Structure 1
Amino acid sequence: MNNSYHIPVLYHETLEALSINPDGVYVDCTFGGGGHSRGILAQLSEKGKLIAFDQDADAQRNIPDDKRVVFVPQNFRHLQRFLRLHELTAVDGILADLGVSSHQFDEGDRGFSIRFSGPLDMRMDRRQSLSAANIVSGYTEQQLHKLFEQYGEVSNSKTLARHIVQQRSHMQVQTIEQFKAMISQVVKGNPNKYLAQVFQALRMEVNDEMGALKEMLQQVPAVLKTGGRVAIITFHSIEDRLVKNFFRQGSFDETPDNPFLPTVKEQVLKVITKKPITAAQEELKQNTRSRSAKLRVAERL
């Protein structure tokens, strides 16, 4: 497995949180460079099993030669379906690291990074048709405004959306360079930070990251054994809020406590982390990408 492909964040904290049963079955929803998977395998016996999901074909190069590993080249939103296909009804633990792998950022032709010239692509699964270029050239002003505001927290998202729609009528946008040139007049504040937020919003939309996360979370109670744990690492406030709400109340909405409305809802998950676990100083020094990482853990009741 390749460590330069991606440095796993919150590595020790995640493995500890999963409280691994050596004979158990574990799912790594985001295999990537296989860093977390390697840690899980090290604690599994011969009887143990690891199911690794990754929709990015590049990740397949990192699969270890280990008969305990089953690799599923799919998005983790299909979690239950592929567990059933492999005749697994319940597992002992589920892990998802929702960050984009360093490898994806470092490969210019994937279009994830503002540092390179390359196609405006951003598809994690290259089998899908929707790319970032399609969104920039095809979404309405309202759709663009909403996605830059929600997923990128871009301060002038409305202006940016209007500007893109005006410019694209006489400009082609197929590459990162063309896109950066197109929006250069409306960039606010620190250009690198601004572009990073815009790129993040496009990437989250291209890959339907919020939709996939919601679908996966809804399947967790059904596929996790009693006492089994789910550990999810997020890098964005929207993701973190979804995970937090789902772990606490089994839904994605913030529900205010109302003393006059008795809410009888069966708790299926017990929150293990009252506050999210974040990277220690040592890790922050070694890996700047761990800055925004938050780990939340729950246990199946």
Structure 2
Amino acid sequence: MMAGRGGSETDAAGGPARHLPVLLDEVLEHLAPRDGGVYVDGTFGAGGYTRAILGAAACRVIAIDRDPNAIRDGQALVEESGGRLSLVHERFSELAEVATAAGEPLVDGVVLDIGVSSMQIDEGERGFSFRRDGPLDMRMSSEGPSAADLVAKLSETDLANVIYRFGEERRSRAVARAIVEARGREPIERTLQLADIVAKVVRAKPHEPHPATRTFQALRIAVNDELGELARALEGAERILRPGGRLVVVTFHSLEDRIVKNFLANRAKVATGSRHMPAVQGAAPSFTLVARGAVEPGEGELARNPRARSAKLRAAERTGAPAHASGDLSSLLPPLPVLDTHRRR
């Protein structure tokens, strides 16, 4: 998952700290904000996309973030917006409910930037960085088990599954074995402590990502249920986008991009038949693709911000067809390990 976001600049679970909004021009082009429109920024972060949307049109933005620090730091932009920005502390998977509660059951656009923000990386105490020492936390909010809890309580098999499925770490079994052996000697509670354990079994050349990149990524995704959050957010966007409304999603690694790609392909699919078989009856397409394939950063942006090199943007426009029935999201998600933090062996 981290192959595209690696390199010496990367120092965190899930990719590099991003001080600049990635693919900002492309986001605005595909979202196409208009005067009087209502837009949802499901991943507010440092507010880069929200600020640009507010500046592009006389519109309203409902922004969401599960990180209380992002909500706190975003209050200045709320005050600057003149009443056009509502900033809500919530998971982005709840974007449909948030918009409805804000009096906007139908909106003109939804933008999602999937990944960890620069604010979270820069604060070592958040536990995302394998180059900055801090508590092994990784929670976007203060709820639920931390990364330290998973490392302490999951069995060797479960740890290996998490690291392989969510991190695509080929040496996941060796990493899990090393973690179990190390925690038998002393608790693993610090980021650099875990990074050192992983670095002893995963080798990397100087120009390659840090050896702990994929393991930290995997733990962060597991702690925050990030892939499930993304899948639920996509369904939520489908429900609240009015006909002609745009969905724009920026991802930074393969599993996230695959979920978005598969969702949009499914929702844009037209039932077809042949002279031998009639067209299959099914739900009408709820989206048409605005961007054919993934949009990637150009040379100019990469020169300004090399950390954008693995970013991919996908965009689609809502049709007038009803939203597809909410169903089993397993078709969008990779095979997920069953996590039981109460057992350990």
TM-score of the superposed pair, with normalisation by structure 1:
0.91
Which SS does the other structure have where 1:186 is aligned? coil
Of all paired residues, the percent bearing the same amino acid is 38
Residue 250 (1) aligns with residue 263 (2): no
Q: 2:168 aligns to what?
A: 153
Question: How many Å apart are 1:5 and its aligned residue?
Answer: 7.6
One of 85, 105, 109 as aligned partner of 2:121: 105
- Equivalent AA in structure 2 for residue 143 of structure 1: D
Pair 1:122-2:138 in alignment? yes
Q: How many residues align?
A: 291
Secondary structure of the residue that 1:193 maps to in structure 2?
A: coil
Matching residue's letter, 2:289: V
Distance 2:144 2:238 in 1: 32
* Larger RCO: 1 or 2 (CA < 8 Å, sep 6+): 2
8 Å contact kept, 1:248–1:270: no
**Quick check: 1:210 aligned with 2:227?**
yes
| Kept in 1: contact 2:246–2:318 (CA 8 A) | yes
Contact 2:151 2:179 in 1 (8 A): yes
One-letter amino acid of the counterpart of residue 276, structure 1: A
Partner Cα separation in structure 2 for residue 143 and residue 176 of structure 1: 20
Q: CA RMSD in A?
A: 2.2
What does residue 97 of structure 2 align with?
Answer: 81
Tell me how far apart the structure 1 counterparts of residues 279 and 176 of structure 2 sit (CA, whole Å). Answer: 43
SS in 2 for 1:50: strand
Give 1:229's match in structure 2, choosing from 243, 246, 263.
Answer: 246
Q: Give the alignment partner of residue 62 of structure 1, picking from 32, 57, 74.
A: 74
Cα drift, residue 99 of structure 1? 2.3
Point out the more displaced range, 59-68 or 269-278. 59-68
Tell me, which stretches of 5 or more residues in structure 2 are unaligned?
Answer: 1-16, 320-345
Tell me, yes or no, if the aligned pair for 2:199 and 2:211 is still in contact at 8 Å: no
- Which residue of 196, 201, 210 corresponds with 1:181? 196
Give the corresponding residue for 1:254.
none
Tell me the residue number matched to 1:168: 183
Give the match's secondary structure for 1:145: helix
Task: Deviation per CA, 1:82-122: give whole Å up to 9, x if none.
Answer: 11211211000000001211121121111111111111111
1:57 positional shift: 1.4
Relative to structure 1, the CA distance from residue 169 to residue 24 in structure 2 (aligned partners, 3 Å threshold; closer, same or farther) is same
61-70 vs 161-170, which deviates more? 161-170
Shift of 1:29: 0.5
Q: Determine if contact 2:297/2:309 at 8 Å carries over to the other structure.
A: yes
Q: How does 1:35-74 map to 2 (within 5 A)?
A: 35-45=48-58, 48-60=59-71, 61-63=73-75, 64=77, 65=79, 66=81, 67-74=83-90
The C-alpha deviation readout for 1:63-98, integer Å capped at 9, x for no partner, is 311211111111101111111211211000000001
For residue 264 of structure 1, report the CA deviation from its aligned partner: 3.2
Which of 20, 24, 36 pairs up with 1:11?
24
Please say if residues 27 and 94 of structure 1, whose CA atoms lie closer than 8 Å, have aligned partners that are also in contact. Answer: yes
**Local SS of the residue matching 2:211:** helix
Partner amino acid for 2:204?
G
Stretch moving more, 150-159 or 17-26: 150-159
Query: How many angstroms apart in 1 are the aligned matches of 2:196 and 2:110?
Result: 42
Aligned partners of 2:113, 2:200: CA distance in 1, in Å?
35
Q: State the distance in 1 between where 2:119 and 2:246 align.
A: 28
Moved more, 279-288 or 232-241: 279-288
Deviates more, 1:110-119 or 1:264-273: 264-273
CA distance in 2, matches of 1:182, 1:193: 12
1:96 matched residue in structure 2: 112
**Where does structure 1 lack aligned partners over 5 or more consecutive residues?**
252-256
Contact 1:154 1:194 in 2 (8 A): no
SS at structure 1 position matched to 2:111: strand
CA, structure 1 residues 99+258, in 2 after alignment: closer, same or farther (shift >3 Å)?
farther
User: 1:196 and 1:300, CA in 2 relative to 1: closer, same or farther beyond 3 A?
Assistant: same
**TM-score, normalised to structure 2's length?**
0.79
What CA deviation, in whole Å up to 9, does each residue of 1:46-76 have, x standing for no partner? xx21000011112121231121111111110
